Amino acid sequence: MYVLLFAGASENIGGRDNDNKCGGEEHWAQKVLVDPEAASINLNIEPATIKVLTAIDTKLPENKYKESKPRMEIEKHIYEIKHCFITDVLRENDNDLHLVIEDGAGNHMIAEIPDADCPEAKKSDWSGNFEEVRATMLTFANNYRHFLFTVTGVLFVDKSHGQTGVAPNSVELHPIIELKKEKAINPIFQ
């Protein structure tokens, strides 16, 4: 039934960025894993669901977004979400690919792929992951809604500013460090 929800939707990478400039401002070092606390990220991948991650209380002082705040404890974890749909892909002004991921039960959140060609991203120990993830996403740029994916990334708490697909608590997987196609949900693509 979920396939029918997207049957008439356009499948391509959207967004208004066309200047090819990369890099961001707010917490950019965190978003490409070159901040001083990046070395303290727990490398054990934890299975999660969108529902579980979007239930994290980001109103608690220790979990609340603040512009000058270093990486929080909850942002030192890598999560793997299986069986999710990618319902929208946008190229952001910082040249990241902004994915909206959903679970088919009404839960959604953002997951982002940095541009591995950005100078700051190139400094990251994870730059090879960014390249692979981006290449995978671009492979499915015209038909991503026809597949289920496993998305693995580092938790990030953003501030809500009207982003497409923002979770109720503004958590994201940013950056995505692995993206795998699981299976086609439309028999035409098997």
Instruction: Give the pLDDT score at 181.
Output: 95
Contact of 84 with 146, CB cutoff 8 Å: no
Instruction: Give the pLDDT score at 91.
Output: 87
| Listed residue (19, 73, 80) closest to 52, CA to CA | 80
Say which residue, 79 or 29, is predicted with more confidence: 79
Residue 95 to residue 118: CA distance in whole angstroms: 9
Residue 20 to residue 167: CA distance in whole angstroms: 27
Residue 23 pLDDT class (50, 70, 90 cuts): low
Can you count the helices (H) and strands (E) in the chain? 5, 6
Distances (CA, A) of 108 to 34, 43, 54, 87, 166: 27, 24, 8, 9, 7
Polymer length of the chain: 190
Q: What is the pTM of this model?
A: 0.89
pLDDT over 90 for what percent of the chain? 66
Contact of 130 with 118, CB cutoff 8 Å: no
Q: What is the pLDDT of residues 83-110, one digit of tens each?
A: 999 999 998 878 899 999 999 999 999 9
Q: What is the pLDDT of residues 109-141, one digit of tens each?
A: 999 999 988 898 999 999 999 999 999 999 998
Instruction: Give the pLDDT score at 37.
Output: 94
Contact of 149 with 181, CB cutoff 8 Å: yes
Instruction: Give the pLDDT score at 27.
Output: 81
Residue 162 pLDDT class (50, 70, 90 cuts): confident
| Listed residue (28, 129, 123, 118) closest to 78, CA to CA | 129
CATH number of 45-189: 2.40.50.140
Residue 3 pLDDT class (50, 70, 90 cuts): very low
What rounded mean pLDDT belongs to the chain?
A: 88
Say which residue, 61 or 19, is predicted with more confidence: 61
Q: What is the pLDDT of residues 138-154, one digit of tens each?
A: 999 889 999 999 999 99
77 has a pLDDT exceeding 60: yes
Instruction: Give the pLDDT score at 67.
Output: 79
Q: What b/e readout covers 35-72, taking b as 16+ CB neighbours within 10 angstroms?
A: beebeebeeeeeebbbeebbebebeeeebebeeeeebb
Residue 155 to residue 70: CA distance in whole angstroms: 13
Q: What is the pLDDT of residues 54-66, one digit of tens each?
A: 999 999 999 988 8
- Both tokens of 106, joined, read 């009404």
